Structure 1
């Protein structure tokens, strides 16, 4: 079993196509197909179901894929550790962020990192905190920026607290509340809401606050992106609550203080087994203590 065969399997699984996988791996399709067939013979199981219309993983392929990714990640980290031992930072830096991250200017931080370590391949993905924590545990991403209620703390990862923040209400400029200096949760509960999807950490802040106050509310719109959320609010389709440090970058909405608003904590997280050399260098640029 060879690492290159694993790369081919991962590429086919991610593209659902032998042709696109070969293009990604810069090989001819026949060579890629031959290596996967050879691996399947060695394993004694088919990894893909092939039809004229699509390619998909078999149950054996589904079982094989996570381990293949882990092997590739381990090989990549081994090469990065060797480079670090001779004073070089190479490999990858996979960063995950919530859409409302405010404690760190992520684009500026990535720019500074890229200028200092141009040999590192950077990737970025946006998602909810609970998914990002899981991906850090699995090694799919190296560093994650999270936002959680003050009653929660990430588990299974190393973390550093970045900032604490309170939520504010955002409404359309012509909303009846737009002229108010402040509101409370009871008054807001009478409004239709735009919010993040249910059962996400971002949504938990508001859900918990209203539930603790014994209030119900109507969440009619669920979106995964805070900027799109604000666009819906700006059109008068509902109101929302967002972190105070994040909302100044939004346009087309009015910000109102909430007297009994929930709070959140922003964290940066990395693997409990220690950051990769690239992740360590990135955290150093952010002046984050990694000794925990």
Structure 2
């Protein structure tokens, strides 16, 4: 099954064999043997490409689930004898501020050096869905105060107000504070409509009976957003605890600012030993 997954992901028997650290003939022999057992071809092979057959496409998700289950079983056995192994997949939004993720991972890695760690950055709703289906073990989100993670276990980390972020030469840059009505006349840089990060601001303006112009949408609130603001293309609203990390821009308080809540989330029904250990490093109650 590992060989099949490797060929499917690389579209090459040669590259798959290199990834799996076996000679190509052995990999091809094992896949051919599996195909005979299944009674179906998993790959279409030509001189130019390798691609999954319909049977192969049906087999692939189940193969991945089987391998994941086998790895979880091995990790559970290791944990039972006092050793944490396996994988830890951590998801986070770029503006997370309540937890120092690099510092937490450094401590975790020091305690559990045999755990392989992957980091995935994304939007809160995407991370929640991935935790719910088991693709990510632990994630860190930011949601409006009107929302709460669904389908997962969650722990509130912190609450924070949003601040306005403007270019240094913007007319508002010298003001100590501003309100939503004044901001509604500005052009905005924000996250895509429908995302949790965007909802914090949209709901605040709607509740105040105001509309605004979001001329630029970016997929994540990171350096690209601050660069657009720095160039005077628009202003942004970001969490107060995250804004000090930005350079080349000015932040100011919003008197009637919306708030966001940061959460740590993990699987509601299943939790790997590595995930349990990581949450323990963070002193998050289970």
Q: TM-score, normalised by structure 1?
A: 0.91
Quick one: which of 171, 195, 203 aligns to 1:176? 171
Q: Which SS does the other structure have where 2:215 is aligned?
A: strand
Q: Which SS does the other structure have where 1:136 is aligned?
A: helix
Whether the aligned pair in 2 keeps the contact of 1:169 and 1:258 (CA below 8 Å) is: yes
Question: 82-91 vs 32-41, which deviates more?
Answer: 32-41
The offset of 1:101, in angstroms, is 0.7
Which residue in the other structure is 1:241 paired with?
237
Which residue in the other structure is 1:261 paired with?
257
The offset of 1:71, in angstroms, is 1.4
Listed as ranges, the gaps of 5+ residues in structure 2 are none
Quick one: which of 184, 190, 198 aligns to 1:189? 184
Quick one: which of 16, 22, 25 aligns to 1:30? 25
Query: Structure 1 residues 37 and 202 mapped into 2: Cα distance closer, same or farther (>3 Å)?
Result: farther
Q: Would you say 1:222 and 2:222 are equivalent positions?
A: no
The offset of 1:118, in angstroms, is 0.6
Quick one: which of 109, 116, 123 aligns to 2:111? 116
CA distance in 2, matches of 1:170, 1:9: 49
Query: Structure 1 residues 217 and 78 mapped into 2: Cα distance closer, same or farther (>3 Å)?
Result: same
CA distance in 2, matches of 1:74, 1:117: 21
Q: Which SS does the other structure have where 1:168 is aligned?
A: strand
Q: TM-score, normalised by structure 2?
A: 0.92
The offset of 1:51, in angstroms, is 4.8
- Correspondences of 1:40-79 after superposition (within 5 Å): 40-79=35-74
Quick one: which of 3, 8, 32 aligns to 2:3? 8
The Cα RMSD (Å) is 1.8
CA distance in 1, matches of 2:154, 2:173: 38
- Equivalenced residue count is 285
Query: Structure 1 residues 23 and 181 mapped into 2: Cα distance closer, same or farther (>3 Å)?
Result: same
Q: Would you say 1:93 and 2:88 are equivalent positions?
A: yes
The offset of 1:130, in angstroms, is 1.1
Quick one: which of 140, 145, 148 aligns to 1:150? 145
CA distance in 1, matches of 2:239, 2:47: 50
